[in-house]
């Protein structure tokens, strides 16, 4: 299938109300619901992206989450609208680092730092499979910042809060600290950040933070950003088109499949460069909210990282 490359254009500032974000997301979901059924098709080869134990864990965690919410509502223990999610965030723990050594050994490419942020429903074993695939592809040591799953219902709720409410979750702070550390290291010439699905939402929030930080242009240019099937509704928004559409970063690329429902809700709907998502009454408020290049594989399904 052909791959089309687009430049994100007309980057504009992001000052929308959360209610407007939610309403636009609802309209997009309704308009593209037919592709929801093929979000995981074709199925990945065994042992390349997910494991059976991970799928079983997702089912169990999902049931636990649903019953926990029901019991909490019945017991009237949710005195604050964020209390349940805050409690679950604490249950996630802080051990999020997973590292895979590069093919060329630990002393190769010491001037580069590579970090991957996973999407929803990814347990530690699945993250290790993804890191191994990236290691084979690029030959670099890749550090995974594990966006820990507590079941699909919880993960999707977190996506909603991060994307539409711009909630700053604990993993975002971990990501910010890791990036600042690498960028501030004079031995590091390049900091590569790769994010999949929900991870792209986290990466977009990080970009917002970095663009409003006191990082100098040289430090910012060290950072290269890549998303796979990104769910973010904006990425690198600025009041001006800086550095050839890169908003001051070293490089920004977004890779997605045309019939990936998550990408349709995220990068395809919000970048304003793809012919299937023209500036219409549905998307006119969303277009022009991305920096970088967008690579679109025409008529291709699949959302898992292995399909990018």
- 195 Cβ contact list (under 8 Å, min separation 6): 116, 117, 119, 202, 203, 225, 226, 227, 228, 230
Q: Given this model, what pLDDT does residue 207 score? A: 94
Structural domain that includes position 202: 3-307
Of 231, 173, 238, 159, the residue nearest 200 (C-alpha): 231
Structure confidence by residue, pLDDT tens digits, 173-228 = 999 999 999 999 999 999 999 999 999 999 999 999 998 888 999 999 999 999 99
Q: How many domains does the chain have?
A: 1
Q: DSSP character for 45?
A: P
Contact by Cβ (8 Å): 303, 263: yes
CA 272/CA 270 separation, integer angstroms: 6
Residue numbers of the chain with a pLDDT score lower than 50? 9-13, 79-82, 91, 239-240, 242, 278-286
Q: What end-to-end distance do the CA atoms of the chain give, in Å?
A: 13
Contact by Cβ (8 Å): 158, 190: no
Q: Given this model, what pLDDT does residue 10 score? A: 44
Q: How many CA atoms lie within 13 A of 140 on its CB side?
A: 18
3-state secondary structure of 94: coil
- Report DSSP letters for 50-89, one per residue: --HHHHHHHHHHHHHHHHHHHHHHHHT---STTHHHHHHH
Phi, psi for residue 294 in degrees, rounded to 5: -120, 125
Q: Given this model, what pLDDT does residue 212 score? A: 87
Largest CA distance in the chain: 56
Q: Given this model, what pLDDT does residue 100 score? A: 58
Q: Given this model, what pLDDT does residue 197 score? A: 94
């Amino acid at each position: 299938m052909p791959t089309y490359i687009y430049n994100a254009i007309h980057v504009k500032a992001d000052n929308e109300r959360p209610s407007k974000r939610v309403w636009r997301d609802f309209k997009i979901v309704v308009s593209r619901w037919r592709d929801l059924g093929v979000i995981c098709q074709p199925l990945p080869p065994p042992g390349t992206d997910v494991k059976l134990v991970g799928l079983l864990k997702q089912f169990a965690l999902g049931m636990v989450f649903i019953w926990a919410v029901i019991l909490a509502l019945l017991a009237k223990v949710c005195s604050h609208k964020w209390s349940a999610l805050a409690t679950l965030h604490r249950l996630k723990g802080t051990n999020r680092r997973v590292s895979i050594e590069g093919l060329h050994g630990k002393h190769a490419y010491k001037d580069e730092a590579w970090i991957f942020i996973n999407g929803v429903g990814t347990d530690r074993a699945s993250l290790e499979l993804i890191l191994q695939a990236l290691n084979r592809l690029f030959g670099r040591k890749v550090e995974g910042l594990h966006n820990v799953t507590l079941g699909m219902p919880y993960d999707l709720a977190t996506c909603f809060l991060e994307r539409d409410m711009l909630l700053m979750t604990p993993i975002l702070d971990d990501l910010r600290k890791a990036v600042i550390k690498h960028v501030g290291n004079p031995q590091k010439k390049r900091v590569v950040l790769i994010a999949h699905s929900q991870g792209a939402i986290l990466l977009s929030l990080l970009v917002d933070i970095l663009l409003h930080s006191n990082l100098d242009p040289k430090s910012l240019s060290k950072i290269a950003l890549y998303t796979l099937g990104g769910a973010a509704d904006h990425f690198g928004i600025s009041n001006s088109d800086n550095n050839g559409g890169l908003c001051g970063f070293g490089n920004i690329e977004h890779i997605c499949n045309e019939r990936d429902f998550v990408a349709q809700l995220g990068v395809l709907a919000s970048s304003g460069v793809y012919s299937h998502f023209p500036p219409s009454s549905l998307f006119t408020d969303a277009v022009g909210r991305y920096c970088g290049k967008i690579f679109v594989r025409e008529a291709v399904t699949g959302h898992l990282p292995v399909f990018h």
